[in-house]
Amino acid sequence: MGAINFAGTAAYGPGLAEAGAGKLLMVWQGTSGSLSSNLITLDAAGAVSTASTVTLPGAITSAGDVTAVTPASGVVKAWAPSGNRLKQWTYPNGVWPQPVDQQWADGSFISPRSGIGATMGYQDSGAVANLYAAIPSTSTGVIEFARQESSGGNAGRWTKLSSWAVEPRGFSSGRPGLAYQRGTSQANQGRFYMTFNQMPGCALDYHPYDGDCQAMLQFTEGNFTTGSSKRLQPIAFDDGDLLGGSSLVHDLTRDLNLRAMLTHPDPNSQLGSQRARVVCGRFASGFTVLEGTGRHGDDAASEERR
């Protein structure tokens, strides 16, 4: 599939999620006006078409990257930071309702520093997938890892997972990328992966060589909130320099590959242009290997992390 051109220029990274068989929904913020969306359709012959641009209800202008996830068939949830609040829209059956200001479990409003990372995943061998998010806080940029409750008195609110709150903590200057990697035998036993661009000045620098604030890749031992192994606790690797936010994608219903979209500065350009590198990874359960291929200017590259 080739490039798809839209009438408009995005001010921040857009959100993209599956909206049914052969359909993708893109949510984006232009350089002016309110948040918008476009439905993209791919037919059986491979032809691509796009519906007219739709303005999301609420007249909201995003202050950062937009995120979109498919929590159930035909349903898309989208989030954007605006006015010191995290806004959520739910798109069921092709209709956008009014946005909802997101809250923590204690009833306080979520005030994100930037866009959030979000994914469907499991914890503690649960039988049903839940919605998880990596949310940078406004004051420090520290990333909170939280689960959106689907039932009970806190339905729709976000519960911070204390098992994640161990050193090293991540501090993000842009939207983190978040994905759940299922196990090879059981979908509900896996681990979470997160990429993030560190705060200016290296608020937390895992590798302070050359005084450089490296972007980070974190993954958890597993997805258990208790016990001494396969825990929901992060391990970190550096991932080079990034511009802005990042994205991680893994489809629980398809293959075992984790994919990342990262935007790196081009060291060969005197104009400061940006280049995108797509990294495709396969993560084994006993130890972790990221096998990445991409394009760096005119040079192909591969990476391996253990």
Instruction: Please name which of 6, 13, 67, 11 lies closest in space to residue 34, comparing C-alpha atoms.
Output: 11
Q: 54 lies in a domain?
A: no
Q: 3 lies in a domain?
A: no
Which of helix, strand or coil describes residue 209?
Answer: helix
Tokens representing 197 are 């661009």
pLDDT for the residue 182: 82
Asked if 134 and 218 touch (Cβ cutoff 8 Å), the reply is no
Q: How far apart are CA 123 and CA 142, in angstroms?
A: 22
Instruction: Please name which of 130, 126, 123 lies closest in space to residue 232, comparing C-alpha atoms.
Output: 123
Q: How far apart are CA 284 and CA 258, in angstroms?
A: 11
Q: 70 lies in a domain?
A: no
Residue range of the domain that includes 210: 102-303
DSSP state of 46: -
Q: 76 lies in a domain?
A: no
pLDDT for the residue 297: 27
DSSP state of 277: E
Q: 44 lies in a domain?
A: no
Tens-digit pLDDT profile for the chain (306 aa)?
A: 556 666 678 899 999 999 988 999 999 999 999 999 999 999 988 899 999 999 999 999 999 999 999 999 889 999 999 999 999 999 987 889 999 999 999 999 999 999 999 999 999 889 999 999 999 987 778 889 999 999 999 999 999 988 776 556 677 878 888 999 887 778 898 888 888 877 665 554 444 444 556 677 777 888 888 776 666 665 555 555 555 555 666 665 655 566 665 555 555 544 444 444 444 444 433 333 333 333 322 222 222 222
pLDDT for the residue 93: 77
pLDDT for the residue 133: 96
Q: How far apart are CA 31 and CA 48, in angstroms?
A: 25
pLDDT for the residue 160: 93
pLDDT for the residue 294: 33
Domain count, the chain: 1
Global pTM reads: 0.77
Q: 167 lies in a domain?
A: yes
Q: 210 lies in a domain?
A: yes
CB half-sphere exposure, 162, CA atoms < 13 A: 2
pLDDT for the residue 253: 61
Q: 124 lies in a domain?
A: yes
